[in-house]
Amino acid sequence: MNELKLFSGTANPELAIKIADKLGIELGDLTIRRFSDGEVHAKANQSVRGCDAFIVQSCQTPVNEHLMELLVIVDSFRRASVRRVTVVMPYFCYSRQDKKLKPREPVTAKLVANLLTTAGANRVLTMDLHAGQIMGFFDIPVDHLYSGPIIAEHIKNIIPLKNSVVVSPDVGGVVRARALAEVLGRPLAIIIKRRPEPNKAEVTELIGDVHGKTAIMFDDMIDTGGSIIGGAEALLKRGAADVYAACTHGVFSGNAVERLSASPIKKLIVTDTIPLPEGAGDTFSVVSVADLLADAVQRIHSESSISEIFDKVWKAQS
């Protein structure tokens, strides 16, 4: 009873295997199949009664397929009498639809929170939400992890920091970029842009000095790549010597990988919350969040503090 068991959906089994290895356990045996009309079926091939079940599933492309699969898995576990179901959702889908900006628009991030709760999730573990208020959309506990510390450590190893500046690609990411700048001990610059339509951005202004410096852009996610590429071009026009970029979630829709590879970005650091598409070349550098997630899973299981993870990391880097 109350045994920790870890299972994986089909979205990112490689990450789930890494987490299981860090925990020193075998990944649970779970069969997921689809009927001829596309309906999802999920079944654990071992008893989960009374266990503390963790389900790893990022919900990247195809988003709705992976989300529905996760809901079905959670429902099957709830009906199998688990003690608790924790959804480990490194990339939280629909997070950009977190508020109503125009009449008759949905707040889909809240809908996803409701779906997970109704399906039977008792807790959610996620990383770098696009907007922090999404945690308030849930009526169950949410543990929110940050990739900043591990990305900062990786940046120190591959990017010369002596004459560098951390850049927020938009006003909404200032808090995230400022935290990275403080860890690296570097100044902060901010790109001001407008979005005439979804997935399109225009740089209008730059706050801060980037002339002759190595610019490091940091964001929570990169989707089509248009915004981050436009930011890199704007930084170079304003005198930046080199441009690097980092993000937690590499969504990389459409031909984003090809566009980023051909862009002036010297190196793009991304975590493995979402699998890197095939064909990604030397421009991309992947840092794993498996250790961080495994530590959080173990702490949730043992009812220990999650915040201590970051207290320990920040002290080690200060």
pLDDT in tens, 49-94: 999 999 999 999 999 999 999 999 999 999 999 999 999 999 999 9
Nearest 5°: the CA angle 275, 279, 280 is 65
pLDDT at 136 over 80: yes
Q: Kindly indicate the confidence band of residue 315, based on its pLDDT and cuts at 50, 70 and 90.
A: very low
Residue 197 has pLDDT above 70, yes or no: no
Model pLDDT, residue 317 = 46
Q: Is the pLDDT of residue 257 over 60?
A: yes
Q: Determine whether 22 is exposed, middle or buried from the number of CB atoms within 10 Å of its CB (0-12, 13-18, 19+).
A: middle
- Looking at residue 41, its pLDDT comes to 97
How far apart CA 191 and CA 269 sit, in angstroms, is 19
Is residue 318's pLDDT more than 50?
no
The end-to-end CA distance of the chain, in Å, is: 41
pTM to 2 decimal places:
0.93
On the question of pLDDT at 110 being above 80, the answer is: yes
Domain 148-287 part of CATH 3.40.50.300: no
Q: Which fold has domain 4-146+290-317?
A: Rossmann fold (3.40.50)
Strand pairing partners for 245? 217, 268
Instruction: Write down the pLDDT at residue 279.
Output: 80
Given this model, what pLDDT does residue 267 score? 97
Residue ranges of the chain that CATH labels 3.40.50.2020: 4-146+290-317, 148-287
pLDDT in tens, 217-249: 999 999 999 989 999 999 999 999 999 999 999
Query: 240 near 210, Cβ under 8 Å?
Result: yes
* Model confidence band, residue 204 (pLDDT cutoffs 50, 70, 90): confident
| Listed residue (153, 95, 176) closest to 285, CA to CA | 153
| Mean pLDDT, range 283-306, rounded to an integer | 96
* Active site residues per annotation: 193
